[in-house]
Chains A and B, each alone.
Chain A
Amino acid sequence: MLHSLVFVLVNGLVYGLLLFLLSSGLTLIFSMMGVLNFAQASFYMLGAYLGYQIMAWTDYWVALFVAPVAVGLLGAAVERYVLSKTHHRGQVAELLLTFGLSYLIVEGVKLVWGVNAVNYGMPPSLNFPIFAINGVSYPAYNVFMMVVSVAIFALLYVLLTKTRIGIIIQAALSDRDMVGMLGHNIPRIFALVFGIGCALAGVAGVVGGNILVTEPSMALSLGPIIFVVVVIGGMGSFGGALVASLLIGLLQNYMTTLNVSLAGLVGVSLGSHAPFRELLNQPLSQLAAIMPYFLMILILAFRPKGLMGKVES
């Protein structure tokens, strides 16, 4: 039992940080621009494929720097030349545009890399077991992924709260016209923010694409969960996204690892005619995967601004 709890804590932390890595870009773009970027998961997918391709050509460490920069530049260009034209028309226009963009990117990726998964492996230098819990090993690469995730959190925090550019970015969100009057180039600031947000998706793709699977449906399958993280954490809160990621990671691991049902959890054993027997005797592991969505509904119903959000949604 104690061993299992240790496993739940460790694996929950590993998976939670992976979730944070995946959702950090979306949080940045939403909190600093107010744009709900539907194409975020597609940028993540592009990062994974570029990472795979650059690694095949050169090596992983080149991919880790080049792929996010490429995705970031593409994102900045999208904001500068297309998305910026919709800002004054409100969130629906932005949402529709990024929605269309997400399909465009997915189809583009299929054109270049085909419709099947690609064999994107871990860099050999980090592909060795570094520690184990009860016989379940973790490759060094997972530790590297956690370090990247925490580093991103720290960097963003410092950038946005402690630097001049961060303060200008924050001011541009709340008082766009005034910041413009003061001589700051608003379109350029927005392009920068959107670019960094997309670059973060690129990093997540390069780092997470080989832990998960790099295939054309990856954007579709990952899209919902990163939105859930952002909603639970609170729209636009980095701390919230981190807490939500860890919460989902821990809860899911707790539910899958322990062999209990809903009824067992409260110590009741049900007769064969008890109402809702089917549901209450369902093992929790079976419900783990849908738990984040349940949590999201609860949050929206009882605390719409999320765990640590600043914006009432």
Chain B
Amino acid sequence: MSFRLAGRRSAAANNLYSLVGRIRKSASVAGLAAAALLSPLAMGPAHAATKVIKIAYIDPLSGPFGPVGILGAQGYEFMFNKINHSGELKGYTFKLVPFDDKVNPATALVDAEKASDEGIRYLLQGNGSNVAFALVNWVKKHNRNHPKDKMLYLNYAAIDPGLSNSDCGLYHFNFDANVNMKMAALVSYIKTQKNIHKVFLINMDYSFGHSVAEAAKEMLKRARPDIKIVGDVFTPIGQTKDYTPFIYKIKQSGAQAVITGNWGADMSLLAKAAGQANLQGVRFFTFYAGIPGTPEAIGDAGAGRVMQITPWAATVNSSETKLADEFEAKYHKDWYYGSQVYLTEMLAKAVKEAGTDDPTEVALHLEGMHYDSPVGDVYIRADNNAAVMPMYLSILEKGVKPYLSGTDMQWKVVKRIPAINLMLPTSCQMERPKGAKLYNAYYNNTGK
């Protein structure tokens, strides 16, 4: 959702250039044309003989979280279009049907009911673990009451660990690394940094922020018992305007690293305050500093200071970078969700292998699937239906290309953490249909 104003082109030329684009895009943001923008016409040639698999996309399309939800929808629109054009999905085409849930669990459930009434059997959602939990329970209930019209829920970004542990299920797949996996990836890097002796934790005061802090404390204790946690603070969501006192505390504590799950304004203001205070020798390990819009808001303050852990970054040398360029050329936005590529490809593979769009058969083929993605091997664990993928730790650097829109910076990859390191124990008790065949079983918690 961003426009390169002070970016590659001259500002004036740029302004004229993107004004038209802006009006078109922003109209969709206002919720006027969200559905029209993602119209079936844009979905590529649906050959007369093919069967359309409709997939409900339930995420915010308006309000403060609208930009993130719309970016996600456009990513899937882009990926589905590619799959449909490639003819890879013999006899089928994917079609995205967007619903606006405003990150509200109750609205999301109404959307799921609507989708079910329209004959849709696939749900796609990512923003908000609270919404994800609501959908998990709804899908369980729905599938019990409608054994002939089962629903399959694909979660691409909600990362509460409960979703792949206590609340796991056959009809519910997690495609993003959860909080514990991301923290394990961060810790596997921090462990090797001899100059980090003290770590400061700052998080938002709700369940997600607390699970980040808990995971950090527990994993650091195991990996590097000598590291001291010198701060563990929480701030109410979106209320803190001046983060300078926290920067002062970080400075006083002598920490060399800050770990934070902050996102949105709480992430930008924290990083900006660090820049304004000229805080040196402290790296910020973040989950969400890369969400489109945040690097622009942070600006130069983030350079050489802010790091992020993601399944993909633009500087990973892979064919996915080409995809990202194509996406950018079409939508004038930075590509963000690496998981969209392998989710779409794996779903297509499961449909192809199952030879049907029946959710149960597709789920059974997704279980334990291995996919050789452009960024490395991705596995879906059969024991909790969660994807395990390589993760990339990257740092915001000036002068690294391709520039993120509105900046002269990019995420430079510092370390690749292989998928095998992120196979954490799970408490999931998977309920499968009696006698159902396990088609693939590359990984479970006992290894290969």
Q: Do B294 and A113 touch across chains, with their CB atoms under 8 A apart?
A: no
Residue contact B242 to A252, C-beta cutoff 8 Å: yes
The B384-418 residues at the A interface (CB cut-off 8 A) are: 406-407
Main DSSP-derived SS at the B contact region: helix
| B244, chain A: closest CB distance, angstroms | 5
A239 to B210, CA, bound (A): 41
Q: Which of B247, B265, B406 contacts A213 (CB 8 A)?
A: B265
Q: A286-B234, A289-B240 are in contact. Are A110 and B268 (CB under 8 A)?
A: no
Given A56-B11, A116-B292, A119-B299, answer yes or no on A134-B276 (Cβ-Cβ < 8 Å): no
* Count of chain B residues with a beta carbon within 8 Å of a chain A beta carbon: 54
Interface bits B1-25 vs A (CB < 8 Å: 1, else 0)? 1110110000110010001001101
B277 interface residue, CB < 8 Å from A? yes
Q: Is A24 an interface residue (CB 8 A)?
A: no
Bound complex: CA of A20 vs CA of B238, how far in Å? 20
Interface of A, helix, strand, loop or mixed by DSSP: helix
With A117-B297, A213-B297 already in contact, the answer to whether A256 and B246 are too (CB < 8 A) is yes
Cβ-neighbour of B236 out of A11, A57, A107, A286 (below 8 A): A286
Count, A-B residue pairs, CB within 8 A: 149
Please tell me if the beta carbons of A289 and B277 are within 8 angstroms of each other in the complex.
Answer: no
Bound Cα distance A53, B23 (Å): 17
Interface residues of B in 212-238 (CB under 8 A from A): 233-236, 238
Task: Assess the B268–A117 pair: CB atoms within 8 A.
Answer: yes
Closest to B300 in A: A121
Q: Name the residue among B26, B234, B251, B300 with the largest chain A CB count within 10 angstroms.
A: B26
User: Which listed residue (A57, A110, A112, A253) contacts B29, Cβ 8 A?
Assistant: A110
Contact B235 A289 (CB under 8 A): yes
Interface residues of A in 206-260 (CB under 8 A from B): 211-215, 217, 220-222, 225, 249, 252-253, 256-257
Set of chain B residues within 8 Å of A113, measured between Cβ atoms: 3, 5, 22
- The interface on chain A, measured as residues whose beta carbon lies within 8 A of the other chain's beta carbons, has a size of 55
Contact A119 B406 (CB under 8 A): yes
* Cβ-defined partner of A221 (8 Å) among B19, B251, B265: B265
CB-contact partner of B5 in A107, A118, A220, under 8 A: A118
Q: Which residues of B are found within 8 Å of A139, using beta-carbon distances?
A: 276, 278
**Assembled-state Cα–Cα distance A18/B243 (Å):** 14
Question: Nearest 10 pairs between A and B by C-beta?
Answer: A116-B293, A117-B297, A289-B239, A256-B245, A137-B278, A116-B2, A115-B67, A115-B1, A56-B11, A119-B296
23 A–B pairs (Cβ distance < 8 Å), ordered by A: A4-B248, A11-B248, A15-B244, A57-B12, A111-B22, A113-B5, A114-B25, A115-B1, A115-B66, A116-B292, A116-B406, A117-B268, A117-B293, A118-B5, A119-B296, A129-B278, A142-B276, A212-B269, A213-B269, A220-B64, A221-B265, A257-B248, A285-B246
Residues in A lying within 8 Å of B, measured CB to CB: 4, 7-8, 11, 14-15, 18, 52-53, 56-57, 107, 110-121, 129, 132-139, 142, 211-215, 217, 220-222, 225, 249, 252-253, 256-257, 283, 285-286, 288-290
